[in-house]
Structure 1
Amino acid sequence: MQRKALKMFLLPGKEAEYKKRHDEIWPELVELLKSVGIQNYSIFLDTETLVLFAYLEAEDLSQLDHLSQLPIMQKWWAYMADIMESNLDHSPKSVEIPSVFYLA
Structure 2
Amino acid sequence: MQRSAFKMKLKPGCEAEYQKRHNEIWPELVKMLKDSGVYDYSIFWDKETNILFAVQKIEGEQTSQDLGPTPIVQKWWDYMADIMETNPDNSPVSIPLPELFYMA
- The equivalences for 1:10-49 within 5 A come to 10-49=10-49
Displacement after TM superposition at 1:61 (Å): 2.6
Task: Give RMSD over aligned pairs.
Answer: 1.2
Distance in 1 between residues matched to 2:83 and 2:32, nearest whole Å = 22
The alignment's TM-score, normalised by the length of structure 1, stands at 0.95
Q: What is aligned with 1:67?
A: 67
Q: Specify every segment of 5 or more residues in structure 1 that has no aligned partner in the other structure, as ranges.
A: none
Question: What amino acid is the match of 2:15?
Answer: E
Distance in 2 between residues matched to 1:63 and 1:100, nearest whole Å = 18
Displacement after TM superposition at 1:66 (Å): 4.8
How has the CA–CA distance of structure 1 residues 75 and 11 changed in structure 2, closer, same or farther, with 3 Å as cutoff?
A: same
Identity %: 58
The number of residue pairs the alignment matches comes to 104
Stretches of 4+ aligned residues off by more than 4 angstroms:
63-66
How has the CA–CA distance of structure 1 residues 85 and 64 changed in structure 2, closer, same or farther, with 3 Å as cutoff?
A: closer
Displacement after TM superposition at 1:59 (Å): 1.3
